């Protein structure tokens, strides 16, 4: 299973034109359009070993309660159907989306489509929760290995 994960991460990195795609298999975060992503292998869960993390950004203080309500509601609706949930990073305070997916069901095209959909979802979330005191600059747990100003095609979504 580790070889499958490493191969998928390598192929995904090559497809995106990353300078060192092998770093993705080691859990290095990367940015797409100022959005931090990270993939991790979850070997303790045999049927869903690929974890996908996306940093949505900080919670605006002006509507903090509404945002917490929104992410709790989304957790209730999404966890049973997508095995996904929102959380707040204890390190950055940002909203992070975590999703477990079956590695066997993933290929480069599916992963690219998933990332493209999440880029659009984060963009909409940041617009909907905009607050003058926040710029939504990504604050990753560690410096991303790659920063990609990519425009992923979402027309087929």
Q: DSSP class of residue 60?
A: P
Tell me the residue range of the domain where 130 lies: 2-145
d(CA 101, CA 4): 13
Total domains present in the chain: 1
- Would you say residue 101 lies in a domain? yes
The conformation of residue 23, written as its DSSP 8-state character, comes to G
Q: Output the pLDDT for position 71.
A: 87
**Residue 154 domain flag:** no
Whether this prediction's pTM lies above 0.85 is answered by no
Please say whether the beta carbons of 67 and 129 come within 8 A.
yes
Give the model's pLDDT for residue 62.
82
Judged against a pLDDT cut of 90, whether residue 108 lies above it is answered with yes
- Tokens at residue 100, please? 């477990």
Q: What pLDDT, on the 0 to 100 scale, is given for residue 95? A: 92
Q: What CATH number did the domain enclosing 53 receive?
A: 3.30.1460.10
The answer to whether residue 155 sits within a structural domain is no
152 is a domain residue: no
* Alpha-carbon separation of residue 43 from 12, 19, 59, 95, 129 (angstroms): 20, 27, 31, 25, 35
Q: Does residue 150 belong to any structural domain of this protein?
A: no
Residue 19 included in any domain: yes
d(CA 135, CA 117): 22
Question: Strand, coil or helix: what is 114?
Answer: helix
Span 26-55, pLDDT tens digits: 889 988 888 999 999 876 666 567 899 999
Query: Is 153 inside a domain boundary?
Result: no
Identify whether 30 is part of a domain. yes
CB atoms within 10 A of CB 115: 21
């Amino acid at each position: 299973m580790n070889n499958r994960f490493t191969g998928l991460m390598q192929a995904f990195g090559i497809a995106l034109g990353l300078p060192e795609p092998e770093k993705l298999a080691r859990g290095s975060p990367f940015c797409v359009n100022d959005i931090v992503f990270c993939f991790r292998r979850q070997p303790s869960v045999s049927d869903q070993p690929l974890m996908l993390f996306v940093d949505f950004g900080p919670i605006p203080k002006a509507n903090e309660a509404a945002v917490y309500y929104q992410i709790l509601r989304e957790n209730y609706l999404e966890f049973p159907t997508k095995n996904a949930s929102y959380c707040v990073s204890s390190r950055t305070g940002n909203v992070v989306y975590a999703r477990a997916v079956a590695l066997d069901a993933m290929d480069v095209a599916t992963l690219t489509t998933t990332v493209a959909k999440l880029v659009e979802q984060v963009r909409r979330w940041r617009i909907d929760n905009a607050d003058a005191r926040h710029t939504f600059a990504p604050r990753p747990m560690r410096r991303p290995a790659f920063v990609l100003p990519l425009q992923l095609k979402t027309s087929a979504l």
